[in-house]
Amino acid sequence: MHIDIISVVPGLLEGPFSHSILKRAEEKGLASVRVHNLRDYATGKQKQVDDYAFGGGAGMVMMIEPIARCIEALQKERTYDEIIYMTPDGDTFDQSMANGLSQVENLLILCGHYKGVDQRVRDLFITKEISIGDFVLSGGELAAAVVADAIIRLIPGVLNDETSALTDSFQDGLLAPPVYTRPAEYNGIGIPEVLLSGHEAKISEWRFEASVRRTKEKRPDLLKGTGWE
Ligand code: ADE
């Protein structure tokens, strides 16, 4: 998978992609991420990428021309399965969206800033608008990093233990069960006996029941219509 990200603050994305799982995915050749500085596609001395909103009002609007130039240049190199705009008024990102996006070849992500982008960018180029939650960040970069991380870790081979993504919270519509590691007793507090039994079927059953219990307690909304309510 290849992900291109367009940003006016590319430095914000250096950290997330040079560490841990995402770096490993790049090294294994399973995913590559390139960040493009929108200012490189701006013209004039000022390299202007934003301007006042027509009709007035506070806040600047990202201009269509540099964005169109950047997207069109990138489209000459590859065909994108989705051109995504990160915005608080997009569809809320969740695990099922991550699963779907992890199966495509090429993604282009545009990070919004200021008061957002000229609506014509959205109308002409964007195929999917994503929000990571009902709050407003100062730009789409951190949201794009969240989305890229959630997608890339699902690509087969990226995680060492392939099954670990399958047992994540939300992957089967439930929260993950509690987990424990050594020591088996800490200050007199033990762990559920069954986990020490070595009995795989019983452990699976306990984990499933613990998942349902935890989901009932913390996110009963996830159980609606499942029969596990
Ligand atoms: N840009 C600003 N806030 C955002 C959010 N919540 N999700 C996605 N992009 C954003």
Domain residue extents for the chain = 2-152, 169-223
Distance CA 194, CA 200 (A): 9
Query: Which of the listed residues 136, 141, 149 should we mutate to test ligand 1's pocket, taking the one with most ligand atoms within 8 A of CB?
Result: 136
If phi > 0 it is left, if psi is from -120 to 50 it is alpha, else beta; for residue 32 that is beta
Instruction: Output the pTM of the full model.
Output: 0.93
Nearest CA to ligand 1 atom 7: 131
Per CATH, the architecture of 2-152 is what?
Answer: 3-Layer(aba) Sandwich (3.40)
Q: What is the distance in angstroms between the CA of the first residue and the CA of the last residue of the chain?
A: 38
169-223: CATH topology is Trp Operon Repressor; Chain A (1.10.1270)
| Residue 163, pLDDT score | 64
**Distance from CA of residue 160 to its chain's centroid?**
20
Calculate how far, in angstroms, residue 137's C-alpha sits from the geometric centre of ligand 1: 5
Task: Give residue ranges with CB within 6 A of ligand 1.
Answer: 86-88, 112, 131-133, 135-137, 140, 143
- Per-residue confidence in pLDDT tens, the chain, 229 aa: 999 999 999 999 998 888 878 888 999 999 999 999 999 999 999 999 999 999 999 999 999 999 999 999 999 999 999 999 999 999 999 999 999 999 999 999 999 988 899 999 999 999 999 999 999 999 999 999 999 999 999 999 998 875 678 788 887 889 999 999 999 999 999 999 999 999 999 999 999 999 999 999 999 999 998 887 7
